[in-house]
Amino acid sequence: MLTQKQMENFAELTVRIGANMQKGQEVVIRCDVNCADFAHLIAEKAYQFGAKKVMMQWRDEILSRLTILNADKETLCEIPQYSIDQSQYYIDHKVCLISISAGNPNIFKGCDPDKLAAMSKASSKAMAFFRKATMSNYLRWTIVSVPTPAWANQVFPDLPTDQAIDKMWNAIGHIMRLDTEDPTAAWQQHIATLKRRAAYLTEQNFEYMHLYNAAGTDLSVGLATDHIWIAAEEEGQDGVPFTANMPTEEVFTAPHCRKINGKVVNALPLVENGNVIDNFSLTFKDGKVIDYSAETGYDTLKSLLESDEGALSLGEIALIGKNSPIAESGILFFNTLFDENASCHLALGQSYPTTVKDGNDLTEDQLNERGMNKSMKHVDFMIGTKDINIDGITYDGKKVAIFRDGEWII
């Protein structure tokens, strides 16, 4: 369990390093009703640091489950106008968004995958304008996480709930560097290291990255023209830096969606809508998946890949060393915020316009010309084994070693 002081430090990190809320700004906290205590602590900190107004957008995963089980598909696909208006309000008021991600990873177990897919498609479509506002950094946003009983029970199924939650708090406390003397300073130093690596990779301007390991991954990922490697801190369109994911360990950029070739094998399970996909491989040719297999969750993988044309290609390549605190913990969190920061990963689907130069000023055609992928999906999956090697290949064919045996060597 964290001390009260550590909890306050956590809330402060969320507001100041994460969303980097500015004095006089409106704040929206999006979280499940079971995280209300931490949400209130964040609200308190936000006001303490000068928020104009803090608003809560409550979610209720148990009600969501009941609705999916009982309502028909058409009803599930109806997106009420007030939800759209609410998101538009957030854009108009340039709020900073704080999300607490602590869902029960199994909440949709047994729900009709067809309903889930239809619902997620309808909501992605209706909320495309809002996703654009966050993915292009028009709004500053951050995601943090706290343990909940249902989640902790999934992560530590052999422990009684109390102990499971306790163990998770300890893990998250360490991962969030709350056990250091000065968490803010620890985060600033961590961010500086990641930014140095990102700057180095951007300067190298590799044509593609070559990833290979003993599990069978042998993949060439071409990089988008004029790509930028990003780490930890990003810049909002208003020039104010923020840290979108806390924790974050990754340095990432955009693949070229027509220049990906070879095979990749997953390193950790992928949880999509509460369904696990594991022991899977994808084979790419000229940027698209042309063949795939999965020992677990084949149907879920199939419906993911068939979501739209862009779901067959990649929108992100992210590098994370095996000695990061999340990887070291050895815990499988069943939550992307942690698991994607435990291991090198790729994402099927949409790429971030911020990962190419002047990306936010480019039209869709121009983005496409640079090799940026377009999709309603963005689904990360982990590929970084302890033995993964990664080389950067320059346009004139020079090879530069970036990772050896799962760890950075730059």
Question: Do 272 and 120 meet the contact criterion of CB atoms below 8 Å apart?
Answer: no
Q: Which residue has the closest beta carbon to Zn ion?
A: 318
**Among 96, 347, 367, 376, contact with Zn ion (rule: CB under 5 A):** 347
Using an 8 Å Cβ cutoff, are 144 and 246 in contact? yes
Nearer to Zn ion, 32 or 316 (CB): 316
Q: How many angstroms separate the Cα of 346 from the Cα of each of 265, 282, 331?
A: 11, 11, 20
- Minimum separation from the CB atom of position 118 to Zn ion (A): 23
Q: Counting contacts by CB under 5 A, is residue 12 touching Zn ion?
A: no
Of 95, 150, 318, 326, the one binding Zn ion (CB under 5 A) is 318
Candidates 249, 316, 339, 391; binder of Zn ion (CB under 5 A) is 316
For Zn ion, the closer CB: 25 or 324: 324
Residue (11 or 201) nearer to Zn ion, CB: 201
Question: Rounded distance, CA 153 to CA 144, Å?
Answer: 19
Say if residue 183 is preceded by a cis peptide, omega within 30 of 0.
Answer: no
The angle formed by the CA atoms of residues 85, 380 and 359, to the nearest 5 degrees, is: 60
Does 116 bind Zn ion (CB under 5 A)? Our answer is no
Give the nearest distance from C-beta 339 to Zn ion in angstroms.
11
| Cβ distance to Zn ion smaller for residue 164 or 251 | 251
Is position 380 an interface residue for Zn ion (rule: CB under 5 A)? yes
Q: What's the CA gap between 5 and 357, in Å, rounded?
A: 41
Question: Among residue numbers 244 through 303, which ones bind Zn ion (CB under 5 A)?
Answer: 250, 252
Q: Compare residues 18 and 42 and give the one whose CB is closer to Zn ion.
A: 18
Smallest distance from Zn ion to CB 345, Å: 6
CA distance linking residue 226 with residue 358, whole number of Å: 9
Q: Identify which of 384, 409, 36 has the alpha carbon closest to the alpha carbon of residue 219.
A: 384
Minimal distance, residue 342 CB to Zn ion, in Å:
11
Q: Does 232 bind Zn ion (CB under 5 A)?
A: no
54 binds Zn ion (CB under 5 A): no
Q: Which stretch binds Zn ion (CB under 5 A): 20-28, 58-66, 317-325, 384-392?
A: 317-325
Site for Zn ion contains 339 (CB under 5 A): no
The angle that helices 81-92 and 128-135 make with each other, rounded to 10 degrees, is 30
Residue (46 or 318) nearer to Zn ion, CB? 318
Measure the CA–CA gap between 76 and 67, rounded to whole angstroms: 8
- In the bound state with Zn ion, the residue whose beta carbon lies nearer, of 207 and 340, is 340
Nearest distance, CB of residue 334 and Zn ion, angstroms? 16
Find the part of the chain contacting Zn ion (CB under 5 A) among 72-80, 198-206, 271-279, 347-355: 347-355
Pick 12 or 316: Cβ nearer Zn ion: 316
Give the x-and-dash track for 137-176 against Zn ion (CB under 5 A): ----------------------------------------
- Residue 317 within binding range of Zn ion, rule CB under 5 A: no
Residue 88: CB minimum distance to Zn ion, A: 25
Say if residues 224 and 370 touch (Cβ distance below 8 Å).
yes
Cβ 336 to Zn ion, closest distance in Å?
Answer: 8
Number of residues that bind Zn ion (CB under 5 A): 6
Chain contacts with Zn ion (rule: CB under 5 A): 250, 252, 316, 318, 347, 380
